[in-house]
Amino acid sequence: MSADRETNHTMTDRDIAFLLADAADEVEIGIAPYQAVIRGGRRRRARRWALATAAALVITGASGTLALASLRDTGGAEVTPAVSQKPPRPSTPEERHVYVPQETMLGTGTDKGKDWYVTVEVWGAPRTKAEAQAQLTAMAIRGDEPWDKDNASALIGKVTYFVQRSYGSGDPKFLMGDSASPQDTMAGTDLKSAAFTPDPKKSGGHQRLVVGHVAKTAQTVQCTWKDGTSTEAHRVASGADVNSDEATIRPVAGSPDNWFVCVGPEGASFDSVKVTK
C-alpha cells in the first residue's frame, strides 16, 4: 500500500486500513443519481453573485433580500489606513492566501430551532495573471464564483471576499461578496452592510440579521429595528469567542476592515445601521 511506502507503519496501520475498507462496505451504494447531478450542476452554473463593486454606493440585491445601508456615508473623501504598523510583506502566493482563503466566523445563532452561521472567506490578492488564473480554479473547486469569473486579470491586486450563511443542515448560501484593493480601506464611520432573514427560504420575512464591514477604528455599530428598538455591536479582539445570537465587531483574517454582525430578536426587522463610536 502506498501508505506503507512513505513511513514505517506497523501491522496496526494495515489492520486499520482493512477495518476502514470493511466499514466503507457498509454504505448502500445505490444507483448514481446522474440526472440530479446534472440539474444541480446547471443550477450552480447559473448562480451569480449579488455583488457590490467598490465604486457602487449601494448594494443591490438580485434576490431582493438585501436591505441596504450606506457606503462611505461621510463622503469618504479621505481614506487613511487604520493600521500604521505593517507586518513583513509575505512573498509567496501561499503565504498571501491566494489559493486557500482565510475563513472567519462572524456570527451564529438559532432561528426557530435551527442553527445558523455566517462566515467570511477572504482570498489574498494575486499579483500575476498566472496566480489569478490559479486562484479562479481554486475558487471553483470550493464552489465560489467571483463576479467576473471568466476574467482572471480582474482579480489581480484585489482581495476577494465571500460572505456565506448556513442554515440548519443546508449548504452554505452566498450572501455578499466583492473584490477590492486592500488599500481601499474603510475609515471613520464608513460602513457597508446588508440585512437578511436567518432562514434563506423566508427571504420575504423579517430581516433581523445584519452583516457588514467597518473601519478598524469603529468601536460600536448600532442596528435599529423597525419597532424602534436597537442592538449594539461592540468591537472584540481577534479570535474572541463567537457566542450565539451575539452582536459583535471583529477582525477578519485577511481583510483590511473589521466586520460586524447584528442579530435582532425574533420578529425584529431591519430599519437602519450606523457606526456610533
Partner 1 sequence: MGDRKEARGTRDDEFQSFVIGRWPRLMRTAFLLTGEQHAAEDLVQSTLEQVFVAWRKVGSADDPEAYVRRVMINAHARKHRRRLKEFLAPKDDSGLVREIADTGDRIAQAEDRNALLKALAQLPPRQREAVVLRYWEDLTETQTAQAMGCSVGAVKSNAAKGIAKLRAIPGLAETVTQGGPK
Closest by Cα among 148, 227, 230, 215 to 184: 215
> Burial code of 139-163, b = ≥16 C-beta within 10 A, e = fewer?
beeeebbbbeeeebebbeebbbbbb
The reply on whether position 77 binds partner 1 by CB under 8 A is no
Give which of 229, 174, 176 is closest to 206, Cα–Cα.
229
* Closer of 21 and 237 to partner 1 (Cβ): 21
Near partner 1 by CB under 8 A: residue from 133, 166, 220, 230: 166
| Rounded least distance, CB 87 to partner 1, Å | 21
Instruction: Kindly report the three-state secondary structure assignment for every residue of 44-63.
Output: HHHCCCCECCCCCCCCCCCC
Which residues on adjacent β-strands are paired with residue 116?
Answer: 109, 167
Task: Please work out, in degrees rounded to the nearest 5, the angle formed at the alpha carbon of residue 216 by the alpha carbons of 58 and 61.
Answer: 20
The residue among 253, 244, 241, 249 whose CA lies nearest residue 273 is: 249
Site for partner 1 in 5-44 (CB under 8 A): 5-7, 11-30, 32-34, 36-38, 40-44
Q: Which grid cell sits at 84?
A: 500604521
237 is a site residue for partner 1 (CB under 8 A): no
| Closer of 13 and 266 to partner 1 (Cβ) | 13
For partner 1, the closer of residues 137 and 238 by Cβ is 137
Q: Is 173 in the site for partner 1 (CB under 8 A)?
A: no
Residue 5 beta carbon to partner 1: minimum distance, rounded to whole angstroms = 7
Say whether residue 119 binds partner 1 (CB under 8 A).
yes
Q: Which residues bind partner 1 (CB under 8 A)?
A: 1-3, 5-7, 11-30, 32-34, 36-38, 40-45, 99-100, 103, 105, 108, 115, 117, 119, 137, 140-143, 166, 169, 171-172
